[in-house]
Chains A and B, each alone.
Chain A
């Protein structure tokens, strides 16, 4: 089925008179967080969906107005906590753009390195939880989840030895990064990359040889190119709908122009397309990690190292929008500085917010069980949706 041929809403001819309203969430396991969907059903078919969000709202944008440029990066990691590294990246890049702050080359390379490892870790969690949501069809459901979590641990171990934390890092700072690689880290990282590469092929065989997996993913939750652009979805969702748009390539930031990688694009726009895009991204990210390790330049890791901890930063008056390609798509930070120690205003464009906004447009017409498959294929993180 071509994406353009999919109607936004399917009108159903249902003989019965009863419509059922079903509340899904906010504590539904497949929501991967706190998300409520109020479904209107005719039989097993969803005819309308109302998405309710905000359960994890902490008003990050107000919070950012009360914290200095040195303090906020470690809080930024709490927006998308599954990909904390890339969240911090967007904020520091916005501040560096306004302040015209130089970042040493080694720091840029380290930023790319951790961002790509983070993408792999995030995709691993997505793959495991999504397949678990789709349940018994996948050899007991939790099998692949336990495999991907096992592999994600390897990356978290690397982050732990680099930063000292496993989930929320505070690794990025305005002007560079906080820590240099410890002794032996590069070797350990290479070994991990080799292990991961083999395991990803294993998952692919497990899933794509499974007719139940294919039946649940193929042709389900089709997002047309037109809808994708209008709603502003990004990342693997956008590329699964036939748009070759990856900020690492379209608007190369940091050191991405130095590395060779492929941007996968699929045209069918369904759950399977999004899966295929992410499976290629795994390998491309690992390829970038190897290139960074091979060509890592010597030098300082920050242009403004602190004497004891992090140096205070004063950013002149100005504004900037910095965007980076996170595992879920365009993570953007629109920052307005008024010359004081704290920003005047910060807008956080969470990739998951826009990605989730596509759900009410694509779910109607599907069965209830497909809702779970579609929601998982979108890979929302509610810390970033609600902020």
Chain B
């Protein structure tokens, strides 16, 4: 499947998706299409390879979740994004589809405080359990002291 064919199939299926570029194909979706799209990409576009999941804090515009999934046989790459909206920190989990999402979503929870609905074991992964705050949020300043103090 060429990137053009994949883009066509995506736009046929997900009318609300905004599609950009070829390598990777950047797909921007509303949060309610997040899980259905991943299911479609895995089953119908053959994107079974889970590369990474992360988030971006766009300050007043809210958080954005980004995931990259690949089809390693056809060398097709998708970079899928969704804006959660201002003051929203909940997103559907992709762990039921991709086992690799487990740790990556735990990291996004740890760093951004995003709650992944449907994640089997959502807790901090890199920081300690008693850590306060989520360091990759833009409101978490590097130069102000943050508890816990040890």
Min CB distance B51 to A, Å, is: 6
Q: Is the CB of A347 within 8 A of B103?
A: no
Q: Which of A61, A229, A354 contacts B111 (CB 8 A)?
A: A61
Q: Which A306-356 residues have C-beta < 8 A from chain B?
A: 321, 330, 332, 334, 336, 344-345, 347, 349, 353-354
Task: Give the tally of cross-chain contacts (CB within 8 A).
Answer: 80
Task: Enumerate chain A residues within 8 angstroms of B52, measured Cβ to Cβ.
Answer: 232, 332, 334, 347, 349, 354
Whether the Cβ atoms of A232 and B142 lie closer than 8 Å is no
Whether B135 and A62, one on each chain, are in contact in the complex, defined by CB atoms closer than 8 angstroms, is yes
Interface residue B23 (Cβ < 8 Å from any Cβ of A): yes
With a cutoff of 8 Å between Cβ atoms, the chain A residues found around residue B49 in the complex are 229-230, 232, 245
Task: Please tell me which one of the listed residues B24, B126, B135 contacts residue A53 in the complex, with CB atoms under 8 A apart.
Answer: B126
Which chain A residues border B75 with CB–CB below 8 Å?
250-251
| A232 & B100 in contact (Cβ 8 Å cutoff) | yes
B79 at the interface (CB under 8 A from A): yes
A357 within 8 A of B: yes
Report if A54 contacts B (CB, 8 A): yes
Residues of A208-242 contacting chain B, CB below 8 A: 226-227, 229-232
> How far, in whole Å, are A251 and B71 apart by their CA atoms in the complex?
13
**In the bound complex, do residue B125 and residue A345 qualify as a contact, i.e. CB atoms below 8 Å apart?**
no
Give B68's nearest chain A residue, CB to CB: A321
Q: Are A62 and B142 in contact (CB under 8 A)?
A: yes
Q: Is B56 an interface residue (CB 8 A)?
A: yes
Given contacts A229-B72, A251-B75, A332-B51, are A66 and B100 in contact (CB under 8 A)?
Answer: no
Complex interface residues of chain B between 93 and 130 (CB less than 8 A to chain A)? 98-100, 102-103, 111, 124-128
- Chain B residue with the shortest CB-CB distance to A57: B126
CB of B136 within 8 A of chain A? yes
Partner of B136, one of A62, A227, A321: A62
Cβ-based interface call for B66 (8 A): yes
Residues of A within 8 A of B57 (CB): 345
* Any B CB within 8 A of the CB of A243: yes
CB distance B54 to A347 under 8 Å?
yes
Chain B contacts for A332, CB-based, 8 A: 51-52, 68
B37 part of interface (Cβ distance < 8 Å): no
Whether A245 contacts B72 in the complex (CB less than 8 A), given A57-B126, A229-B49, A347-B52, comes out as yes
Interface residues on A, range: 20 to 34
Contacts of A57 in B (CB 8 A): 126-127
Decide if B72 touches A250 in the complex (CB within 8 Å).
Answer: yes
Residues of A near B100 (CB, < 8 A) are 230-232, 354, 357
Is A361 close to B, CB under 8 A? yes
Q: Are A334 and B54 neighbours in the complex by a CB distance under 8 Å? A: yes
- With contacts A57-B126, A232-B51 taken as known, whether A353 is within 8 angstroms of B103 at the C-beta atoms is yes
A5 cross-chain contacts in B, Cβ below 8 A: none
- What's the Cα separation between A227 and B68 when bound, in Å? 17
Q: Which residues of A contact B72 (CB under 8 A)?
A: 229, 243, 245, 250
Which one, A227, A243, A386, contacts B126 given CB within 8 A?
A386
Residues 131-150 of B, flagged 1 when their CB comes within 8 A of A and 0 if not, give 00001100010100000000
Query: Is A321's CB under 8 angstroms from B99's CB?
Result: no
A1 within 8 A of B: no
| Contact between chains at A349 and B50 (CB < 8 Å) | no
A15 lies within 8 A of chain B by Cβ: no
Q: Which of A53, A231, A243, A387 contacts B99 (CB 8 A)?
A: A231
Is the CB of A12 closer than 8 A to any CB of chain B?
Answer: no
User: Which chain A residue has the least Cβ–Cβ distance from B69?
Assistant: A232
Return A234 CB to nearest CB of chain B, in Å. 8
B139 to chain A, nearest CB (A): 12
A347, B104: Cα distance in complex, Å: 11
In the complex, per-residue mask of A55-82: 1 if CB is within 8 Å of any chain B CB, else 0 = 0010101100010000000000000000
User: Which chain B positions have C-beta within 8 A of A345?
Assistant: 56-57
User: Shortest beta-carbon distance, A364 to chain B, in Å?
Assistant: 14
The smallest C-beta distance from B109 to any residue of chain A, in angstroms, reads 13
Instruction: Give A residues with C-beta under 8 Å from B.
Output: 53-54, 57, 59, 61-62, 66, 226-227, 229-232, 243, 245, 250-251, 321, 330, 332, 334, 336, 344-345, 347, 349, 353-354, 357, 361, 386-387
- Given A62-B142, A354-B103, 13 other A-B residues pairs in contact with their CB atoms under 8 A: A54-B126, A57-B126, A57-B127, A66-B142, A232-B52, A245-B49, A250-B75, A332-B51, A332-B52, A334-B66, A336-B56, A357-B100, A387-B126
Q: Can you list 29 A-B contacts (CB < 8 A)? A: A53-B125, A54-B124, A57-B127, A59-B136, A62-B142, A227-B99, A229-B48, A229-B72, A230-B49, A230-B99, A231-B50, A231-B98, A231-B100, A232-B51, A232-B100, A245-B49, A245-B72, A250-B72, A321-B68, A332-B51, A334-B52, A334-B66, A345-B57, A347-B52, A349-B52, A354-B100, A357-B100, A357-B102, A361-B99
In the complex, the 7 A-B pairs of residues with the closest C-beta atoms, listed nearest first: A54-B126, A232-B100, A232-B50, A231-B100, A347-B54, A349-B52, A57-B126
